[in-house]
Amino acid sequence: MMTETAPALRIGVAGLGTVGAGVLKILAAHGPRLSTHAGRPLVLTAVSARNRAKDRGVDISQFEWEDDPVALARRDDIDLLIEVIGGSNGPAKAAAEAALARGAHVVTANKALLAAHGGALAEMAEEKRAGLRFEAAVAGGVPIVKALSDSLAANAISRVYGVLNGTCNFILTEMERTGRDYQDVLAEAQSLGYAEADPTADVGGWDAAHKLALLSTLAFGASVDLDGVSVEGIERISESDIRFAAELGYRIKLIATASRDGGQTLQQVAPCLIPAESAIGGLDGVMNAVVCEGDFVGQTVFEGPGAGEGPTASAIVADVLELARNGAQPVFGQPIQRLTPLRRMPPENVSAPYYVRLKLVDRPGALAEVTGILGGTDISIHQMRQIGGTPDPASVVIITHEARDGDLRSAVAKITNLEVSLAPPMALRIERA
């Protein structure tokens, strides 16, 4: 309940794109109710963006205006800065630093900024006793940051994995649904606004990598280690791979996974086969989902919209409420000084079953050359089949038993160099659900 003596929390918004405008709409629609929930008035004081005259579908004339987001962050009538500019450096970083330097809270949806500079920003926030919250940065409207920081804190987390990029999930879902190829569906995603004109960060896996680096820190109490994330995108996935996977009972998803074993942590973003009947396997369209595995709670699944105006703005406002109620808390769930450097698990030492698609010359002995290489590299075959309906009778799909990643890569390199190999093999890890 709001008391008469509770001071207002004065808010500035830096960036009035889709998400920033969404925040203004939520505050306009639900301001009095949100202030009651917060226990103090929430007052939007000033805003900043590149173009003051742009129509954003919300009235900004009642707010003070700053052309420079850093000037906004330095205003003495701003207690909390919402940063939705984007980018790992430049104005976003400068504005966040300016706010924290004078002890103002910061709420951000900027995963690139935090993946690159999260440790330094957290140190500054905790030194100044300011809050830095980022629920919207990891999975949009999915409340996974609070879950790992608070709700699952009683558990030792062994594994966090899921689909963290809605653009890739939309593309793979549409390829499966329509039988169209990657480039065609990518163009549609761009036309619908799901993918940028330069989609590299999304389809190349880097957007998911930024988010995974933050999840690893929350899950394992380790310093943010973006450089330790192994990254592969979906550009090489073909309609044939999606069809073959479906006939084997799998779907292909871009999976971000962080797992800990013996004090070492694997961070990996890559397209994988995952059982179609699993929680992640059933995910369609632009949705995100995160699975957490804890020693006491077992497996928990968090699913919801991972991007867009409404879900992302909703997560930002939730962070504002949390800061209004409880003030500054450790940024990554525990004081920054207690975070330990992450000990990386070399990806080549990880074992898993693999899907391998081969395109071979159709002649006697061709397949024997391949199986000889696999056997000589300590890789055993679980299934091998020619998928029905393929137009090329020389296409063969192999499912291996568990194999070391390093051995699998070595075998693929040798098969690529065979005269009977018509194209480099496609190898995808099979992820356990």
Q: Any idea which residues carry the catalytic annotation? A: 211
Per the CB < 8 A criterion, the answer to whether 316 and 18 are in contact is no
- Alpha helix locations (H) across 179-331? 182-191, 200-203, 206-220, 239-247, 309-326
The residues with which 399 forms a beta bridge, in sequence order, are: 355, 383
Name residue 120's amino acid.
A
Residues 6+ apart with CB under 8 A from 330: 122, 126, 336
Closest by CA to 307, choosing from 164, 142, 140, 193, is 140
Sign for the CA dihedral angle at 148, 149, 152, 154 comes to positive
Q: What DSSP designation does 345 have?
A: P
Name residue 182's amino acid.
Y
Closest by CA to 66, choosing from 15, 31, 20, 109, is 15
Report the Cα–Cα distance between both ends of the chain, in Å, rounded: 44
Classify 9 as helix, strand or coil: strand
Main-chain phi, psi angles of 94, to 5 degrees:
-65, -40
- Alpha helix locations (H) across 260-353? 309-326
**Cα 304 versus chain centre, distance:** 13
> Rounded distance, CA 252 to CA 242, Å?
6
- DSSP string computed for 350-409: -EE-EEEEEEB-SSTTHHHHHHHHHHHTT--EEEEE--TT-S-TTEEEEEESSEEHHHHH
Main-chain phi, psi angles of 10, to 5 degrees:
-95, 130
- Report angle CA 344, 349, 351 to the nearest 5 degrees: 120
- Report angle CA 378, 384, 389 to the nearest 5 degrees: 150
Structure tokens at 35: 């202030």
